Amino acid sequence: MTQYFIRRLLLIVPTFIGITILVFVITRFVPGGPIERMIAEAQQASMQTGGMSQSVGSSIGAATLDEDQIRQLEEYYGFDKPVLVSYWDWLVKVVHLDLGESTRYSDPVWDTIKDRLPVSAFYGIMTMFITYFISIPLGYMKAVRHNSHFDHASSIVVFVGYAIPSYVVGIILLVVFASNLEWFPMGGFYGDEFEDMDSKLEQVADIFYHAALPLLAYVAGSFAVMTFMMKNSLMDNLAADYVRTAIAKGMPFKQAITRHAMRNSLIPIATHFGNNISVIIGGSFLIEKIFNINGLGLLGYESIVERDYPIVLGVLVISAILQLFGNILSDICVAAVDPRVQFR
Amino acid sequence: MSEVILEVKDLATEFDTEQGVARALDDISFEVKAGETLGIVGESGCGKSVTALSILRLLPKPAGNIVSGEVIFKGQDLIRLPADDMHNIRGNRIAMIFQEPMTALNPVYRISRQLNETLALHNPEMNKAEINEASINMLKRVGIPAPERRMKEYPHQLSGGMRQRVMIAIALLCKPEILIADEPTTALDVTIQAQILQLLKDLQKETGMAIIFITHDLGVIAELCDRVVVMYGGRIIEQADILTLFDKPRHPYTRGLLNAIPRLDKSSKEVLSTIPGMVPSLFDFLPGCRFQNRCDYVQEQCTQDIPVLESDSDGHQVRCFRFRELLS
């Protein structure tokens, strides 16, 4: 078992290189890189200052940034070298825990990510807790009372939540509860007075006050799958022979469910768990955008739009590592709940 | 004669299905005496397992329902017993083992837990060490080598025969008065079958429990049972002690079954005799005798009236209008 996990850990290295090299190469070939942006900005600047008087049709691009400047910029961003060479340079820096500097803010990438990560992680972990907290008991009740009114009514709610994309749920919540009813704030991670609050308790309350709607949007999207997974797997297990054995032993039905069927039903849930990690911590950029939350998802999205490649790659590094470790964590969880699973 | 400890009277069980209500058991009556082995034999779908499940009220809910009848165990009607009292009877005074040892044990728990749990349920006064000790002893008695080590293993680490032994150990932990064995050897290969049957015989001798043995295998019945109930289409069609049944079968179905057993002393050229046709489905039973469409001796009356289970002076029961003429 230990050997297996050591092997899995070692496999992270080539997988990680594969993922990053792919994205790195793509950044090279997608139009609109940082240099082109600068050229465009310089153009706009020159248009605004001297554009009026200048004659139309002159070669504008060349006039704003000359060859030398462009070469300097290329050298600065590492575009002067072949792709693989600059990828290697980047990788060496990453190994030394240096993700480079943002081309937009000139801040170190790691600092930018470090600021955003806790925000997304807070939402992710809260979502996970709430999802499991709702899904497992709800799935349990639906399985035990299969085909009852309760089962049908809750199915409607679950399917509606599943059918509407989470960003639409987010927008509806925002319009109804923040804009019309004004029960909740319009967005942000915390309010303007956050720094001035006296007690930690007040600050925590403020965070949750701001988090209520986004969390609902997050949860609405994710609990349907989990609930049905729980229900179906529990129903399968309720019909299993070993549950009948347990009852034949003299165990009351309820106890047979909680002691025997439940444990087996959690196996597929455990398989799911690790895969969720990266999504959870990475956050959803759509929900973060709607609720104006400065999380990792939004950061990744903005940096792609702005062609801020060091940040794009930085976010990728973090989420790739989370995903890869998440997969291994999944395996560990499965091995923990199912003794039949043996890794070699 | 020893006392009757279980009496099934006019038991009828139905299943609610999407195709309608299926009457799986009809007019089932038999007795089990202390210490004896009663065999219930019949083809797939004849209601043998449903009978067993009905006795212990283990029918799949909500589909399966006992609609009438009584199951009297030592003066108590199990059908009308409150759920809590039923928990005290199951696994404690009447235990059951199942056909599939592969799935009857919970795959995620160690053998120790699955054994100890039964004792803990029925003997709250025992402490953990005593329970564990008793479980190990029971594993030893059912012939499991190195029981201490097996206790720490999971079901998937044991062979089918071993698992069935574990199931038997679980069933016998609380020294039940009746053991219901629902095709316990069907899923096992022949040598293991013989071992398990011998084990059940030995354990019965030691404990004096009664066994209700359900099977489709007349060979197993011959080896193990004192009396036999033959079922067909949810009804009992013949009941007799073992020698009588094999010597003088009365019902055409029983005769057909006995003729269908391949024999070493017959020429290999001879065509194996079979009963033509199939067991009717629970949804299209014809009125009258349920065996009518496969019976060589069918007559007008068989298609209209249900024959009653007639009993002669030495307790040989048969449900057939024509068995007297067929005897001669």
Question: A54-86: per-residue pLDDT in tens?
Answer: 444 444 444 566 778 777 777 777 777 788 888
Interface of B with A (CB under 8 A): 56, 58, 60, 83-84, 87-92, 95-96, 98, 100, 103-110, 117-118, 121-122, 154, 156, 167, 170
> Counting beta carbons within 10 angstroms of the beta carbon of residue B87, is it exposed (0 to 12), middle (13 to 18) or buried (19 or more)?
buried
Q: Which two tokens stand for residue B294?
A: 């496969």
Residue B244: in which H helix or E strand, if any? helix B242-247
Let me know if residue A3 belongs to a domain: no
* CATH code of the domain in which A281 resides: 1.10.3720.10
Query: Closest Cα partner for B245 from B328, B325, B314?
Result: B314
Q: How far is CA B228 from CA A175, A286, A311, B126, B180, in A?
A: 75, 72, 81, 39, 14
Instruction: Quickly tell me which residue has 């709250």 as its tokens.
Output: B124
Q: Are A338 and A267 in contact (CB under 8 A)?
A: yes
Do residues A76 and A215 share a domain?
Answer: no
Q: How far is CA A204 from CA A207, A295, B67, B222, in A?
A: 5, 18, 60, 77
Q: Nearest-CA distance from B150 to chain A in Å? A: 15
pLDDT tens digits along A126-159? 888 888 888 889 999 999 888 888 989 888 988 8
Q: How many CB atoms lie within 10 A of CB A33?
A: 18
Let me know if residue A185 belongs to a domain: yes
The rounded mean pLDDT for chain B is: 88
| Whether the predicted pLDDT of A197 surpasses 80 | no
| Whether the predicted pLDDT of A36 surpasses 80 | no
Q: Are strands B178-182 and B210-215 parallel, antiparallel or unpaired?
A: parallel
Q: Three-class SS of residue A327?
A: helix
Q: Please give the pLDDT value at position A50.
A: 55
Contacts of B310 (CB under 8 A, 6+ apart): B317, B318, B319, B323
Of B96, B103, B170, the CB nearest to A240: B103
Contacts of A160 (CB under 8 A, 6+ apart): none
Contacts of B311 (CB under 8 A, 6+ apart): B317
Q: Are A248 and B53 in contact (CB under 8 A)?
A: no
Q: Which two tokens stand for residue B215?
A: 């099977």
Q: Which ipTM was obtained for this model?
A: 0.87
Let me know if residue A161 belongs to a domain: yes
Q: Nearest-CA distance from B285 to chain A in Å? A: 28
In order of their start, the domains of chain B are: 4-93+174-327 (3.40.50.300), 94-173 (no CATH)
Let me know if residue A12 belongs to a domain: no
| Whether the predicted pLDDT of A260 surpasses 80 | yes
Q: Nearest-CA distance from B14 to chain A in Å? A: 19
**Lowest mean pLDDT: which of A6-15, A49-58, B16-25?**
A49-58
Q: Which two tokens stand for residue B150?
A: 């097996």
Of B88, B108, B154, the CB nearest to A337: B108
Do residues A58 and A149 share a domain?
Answer: no
Max avg pLDDT among A113-122, A164-173, B82-91: B82-91
Do residues A233 and A84 share a domain?
Answer: no
**Count of the separate structural domains present in chain A:** 2
Do residues A175 and A315 share a domain?
Answer: yes
Let me know if residue A24 belongs to a domain: no
| Whether the predicted pLDDT of A16 surpasses 80 | yes
Do residues A81 and A128 share a domain?
Answer: no
Do residues A325 and A178 share a domain?
Answer: yes
Q: Are B143 and B199 in contact (CB under 8 A)?
A: yes
| Whether the predicted pLDDT of B108 surpasses 50 | yes
Let me know if residue A89 belongs to a domain: yes
Let me know if residue A103 belongs to a domain: no
Domain boundaries, position A251: 109-337
Using only C-alpha atoms, chain B has a radius of gyration, in whole angstroms, of: 21
Do residues A241 and A177 share a domain?
Answer: yes
Residue of chain B nearest A146, judged by CA positions:
B62
**Lowest mean pLDDT: which of A8-17, A93-102, A189-198, A285-294?**
A189-198
**Lowest mean pLDDT: which of A153-162, A203-212, B21-30, B137-146?**
A203-212
Q: Three-class SS of residue A341?
A: coil
Q: How many CB atoms lie within 10 A of CB A240?
A: 18
Let me know if residue A212 belongs to a domain: yes
Of A250, A251, A264, the CB nearest to B107: A264
Q: Please give the pLDDT value at position B32.
A: 93
Residue B95: in which H helix or E strand, if any? strand B94-97
Report the percent of chain B where pLDDT is more than 70. 99
Q: Are B34 and B208 in contact (CB under 8 A)?
A: yes
Q: Which of A69, A95, A121 is the last residue of a domain?
A: A95
Q: Please give the pLDDT value at position A62.
A: 47
**Which residue intervals of chain A are DSSP H helices?**
2-29, 34-50, 60-64, 67-77, 83-95, 109-144, 149-163, 166-173, 200-238, 241-248, 253-256, 262-282, 285-290, 296-305, 309-337
- Top pLDDT among B319 and B281 is at B319
Q: Which of A244, A249, A251, A341 to mutate to test the interface with B (most CBs of B within 10 A)?
A: A249
Do residues A204 and A242 share a domain?
Answer: yes
Confidence at A49, pLDDT banded by 50, 70, 90: low
Q: How far, rounded to the nearest angstrom, does the alpha carbon of residue A156 sit from its chain's CA centroid?
A: 27
Segment B113-119 mean pLDDT: 92
Max avg pLDDT among A204-218, A297-311, B47-61: B47-61
- Top pLDDT among A343 and A16 is at A16
Do residues A225 and A195 share a domain?
Answer: yes
Do residues A245 and A208 share a domain?
Answer: yes
Residue of chain B nearest A339, judged by CA positions:
B108
Q: Which two tokens stand for residue A145?
A: 């009372």
- Top pLDDT among A35 and B108 is at B108
Interface of A with B (CB under 8 A): 239-242, 244-252, 259-260, 263-264, 267, 337-340
pLDDT tens digits along B211-251? 999 998 888 899 899 999 999 988 999 999 999 999 889 89
Do residues A71 and A126 share a domain?
Answer: no
The rounded mean pLDDT for chain A is: 81
Do residues A142 and A220 share a domain?
Answer: yes
